[in-house]
Chain A
Amino acid sequence: MNYHWEWQVFLRDDGSGRTYIEWMISAWGWTLSVAACAWVLALLIGSLIGTLRTVPQRGWQRVGDAWVELFRNIPLLVQIFLWYHVVPAVFTAFKDLPAFVLVVFALGFFTSARIAEQVRAGIQSLPSGQRMAGQALGLTLPQTYRHVILPMAFRIVIPPLTSEAMNIIKNSSVAFAVSIAEMTMFAMQAQEETSRGIEIYLAVTTLYVVSAFSVNRVMAGIEGRVRVPGTIGGGK
Chain B
Amino acid sequence: MNKTSILIAALFAAAGFAAAASAQELTGTLKKIKDSGKVVMGTRDSSAPLAYTLGGGQYTGYHVEMCDRILDTIKKQINAPAAKTEYTLVTSQNRIPLVENGTVDIECGSTTNNAARQKQVAFGLTTYVTEVRMAVRANSGLTSINQLNGKNVATTTGTTSVQTLRKHERATGVDFKEIYGKDHADSFLLLESGRADAFVMDDNILAGNIGNSKNPRDFIIAGEVLSVEPIAVMFRKDDPAFKKAVDDAIRSMMKGGELDKLYVKWFQSPIPPRNSNMNMPMGNTLKGLLANPNDRPMEDYAKK
Contacts and interface: CB of A to CB of B under 8 A. Distances in A.
Interface of A: 14-17, 85, 88-89, 95, 99, 176-177, 179, 181, 185, 188-189, 191-195, 197
Given A179-B179, A185-B180, A192 B93 contact: yes
Nearest to B194: A95
Given A14-B163, A15-B167, A195 B96 contact: yes
Contacts of A17: 170
B157 A16 contact: no
B181 A179 contact: yes
Contact of B193 (A89, A188, A195): A89
Contacts of B193: 85, 88-89
Given A179-B181, A189-B158, 16 more contacts: A14-B163, A14-B166, A16-B166, A85-B193, A99-B179, A177-B182, A179-B180, A185-B180, A188-B157, A189-B180, A191-B93, A192-B92, A192-B96, A192-B159, A193-B116, A197-B97
Contacts of B179: 99, 179
A188 B193 CA distance: 25
Contacts, number: 55
A interface, over-half SS: helix
B103 interface: no
Nearest to B186: A177
Contacts of B189: 85
B117 interface: yes
Contacts of A14: 163, 166
Contacts of A95: 194
A118 B167 CA distance: 49
A16 B170 contact: yes
A14 B178 CA distance: 15
Nearest to A177: B182
Contacts of B194: 95
Interface residues of B, number: 27
A195 B93 CA distance: 10
**Across the A-B interface, the 3 shortest Cβ-Cβ residue pairs:** A15-B167, A16-B166, A15-B166
Nearest to A184: B157
A152 B157 CA distance: 47
Nearest to A191: B93
B235 to A, nearest CB: 16
A16 B167 contact: yes
B157 A193 contact: no
B149 interface: no
Contact of A195 (B117, B167, B169): B117
Nearest to A193: B163
Contacts of B119: 195
B142 to A, nearest CB: 20
A181 to B, nearest CB: 8
Which one of A85, A192, A193 has the greatest number of beta carbons of chain B within 10 Å?
Answer: A192
Interface in B180-199: 180-182, 186, 189-190, 193-194
15 contacts: A14-B163, A14-B166, A15-B163, A15-B167, A176-B180, A179-B181, A185-B180, A188-B93, A189-B180, A193-B116, A193-B163, A195-B96, A195-B116, A195-B117, A197-B97
Contacts of A179: 178-181, 190
B154 to A, nearest CB: 8
Contact of A194 (B116, B181, B182): B116
Contacts of A88: 193
Contacts of A185: 157, 180
